[in-house]
Structure 1
Amino acid sequence: MTGPHPDFPGSVGLSRLSVYPWPTEDDEHGGSPHMHLTCAECYVVIGGQGRLETLNHTGQRTTPLRPGDVVWFSPGTVHRAINDGDLQVVVVMQNSGLPEAGDAVMTFPPEYLTPERYPGTAAVLDDQGRPSQKRARARRDLAVEGFTELTRQWRRGNRTAFEDFCRAAAEIVRPRLAAWEETVHEGALAAAQTALRHISALEGGDWSHLLDAEVTRIARPPEQSLGMCGFLRAYDPVRRAGGSTTEP
């Protein structure tokens, strides 16, 4: 994936996440439960404490989050970050560019999980096109409502509700799939192919790619956005647009 600066290793995406401290109806604090359909995600906990509530085909699980913990999960895992006290995370996302292109569907109640209704319900911009904490909290609360029902149905032995959510999520993202394929080809697949070319060259005694090495730095991104789980400072948009320094 081309840009002003090189891809991150393996064409991953990096963000600094401060999980929302906002209270919820179920007496917790945190972000919007959601599922990624293509990308695995990793949390590297760097401060505070909290929990990760998950639901996938194996059932419901709660994983503690403490500084130094590394927790990761594959596509098809509904996850909810709960903030028990200033939870700070570095998020590593597979397939840089896909999460920003909609590779996540929040667990709204079923009536909102249609291609027609979902985009407006998930939007975080107000009528003037500005990021709105009010809208972010509203969509978070709706996602918690839907997640609470999904987990309730699972505990009752009803697996169909989870499968219905997966089916609806797949239908919502269907129009974007061709663009996602291009992103993977230009990003993660290209990075893997480059590594294979380097291995092949080294096997033939050619080490010339080592003379193309560079060091790139990105300072803390100045812009903070309203993510699904919390306040985000995303590094990849900075990488794509510039704003880093390359040292000789």
Structure 2
Amino acid sequence: MINHDQLELQVIMSNAGLPEAGDAVLTFPEEIVADPQKYRAAVALPVGEGEIARAQAARARRDLAIEGYGQLLEGIVEHGRPALERFYTHAVDLVRPLIGDWQHIWEHNVQMEAEQTRAQLDALASGDRRHLSTATVIRGEPRPGPRLWGMCGRLQTWSGEV
């Protein structure tokens, strides 16, 4: 999706920020995706250069991903599945060094929530209702500071307070 006007989307994500930790590989042209240094340079946004520079870099990153997607699509049309498999190979090579960080995020956020849900489902299945007495109302507030640039646009994180 490309937004050229005032469209705003509110998306709630509960995956502990894995896209911002690099678990999504942008479809840059193959010469960039095939080279980890070029990919890191293309995906990075400038630090300390102000919002206008970061917004321009985010748009340039988006445009480069659209260009690469077009090339990938042409490759698939011309060569079939092997073109997509080549992209997958490059993507795995790019993200493999990040797996340890992702496992940490998973273990300390996502897995904990999944285990809690499983325990609650098990309790409900056996007729145990004790966990219901721990229910609370949580009010979310945006975290202070400027909104960050995430994978898909502006990122606003929220804190949940009882």
Tell whether the structures are fold-level matches, with TM greater than 0.5.
yes
5+ residue gaps, structure 1: 1-80
- Alpha-carbon deviations, 1:148-196, whole Å to 9, x = none? 1112222334332222111111111111112212322333322222223
Deviation at 1:202, TM superposition (A): 4.7
Counterpart-to-counterpart distance in 1, 2:81 and 2:126 = 54
Q: Which residue of 2 aligns with 1:124?
A: 45
Kindly tell me the number of residue pairs found equivalent between the two proteins: 158
Q: Which residue of 1 aligns with 2:17?
A: 97
Kindly indicate which of the two structures has a greater share of residues assigned to helix: 2
More contact order relative to length (CA 8 Å, sep ≥ 6) = 1
The residue type equivalent to 1:227 in the other structure is G
Rate the CA distance shift 1:108–1:208 in 2: closer, same or farther, 3 A.
same
Residues 140 and 228 in structure 1, CA contact (< 8 A), matched pair in contact too = no
Other structure's SS at 2:10 match = strand
> Residue 227 of structure 1 is aligned with which of 144, 147, 150?
150
Aligned-residue CA RMSD in angstroms?
2.7
Counterpart-to-counterpart distance in 2, 1:98 and 1:197 = 24
Q: Which residue of 1 aligns with 2:106?
A: 184
Other structure's SS at 1:214 match = coil
Rate the CA distance shift 1:221–1:179 in 2: closer, same or farther, 3 A.
closer
> Residue 217 of structure 1 is aligned with which of 139, 142, 148?
139
Q: Normalised by the size of structure 2, how large is the TM-score? A: 0.78
Rate the CA distance shift 1:205–1:153 in 2: closer, same or farther, 3 A.
closer
Q: Which residue of 1 aligns with 2:63?
A: 141
Summarize the alignment of residues 58-137 of structure 1 with structure 2, pairs less than 5 Å apart.
Answer: 81-83=1-3, 85-93=5-13, 95-113=15-33, 114-126=35-47, 128=48, 130-131=50-51, 132-137=54-59
Percent identity of paired positions between Structure 1 and Structure 2? 36
Counterpart-to-counterpart distance in 2, 1:134 and 1:124 = 9
Q: Which residue of 2 aligns with 1:53?
A: none
Rate the CA distance shift 1:209–1:160 in 2: closer, same or farther, 3 A.
same
Counterpart-to-counterpart distance in 2, 1:165 and 1:217 = 42
5+ residue gaps, structure 2: none
Rate the CA distance shift 1:100–1:229 in 2: closer, same or farther, 3 A.
closer
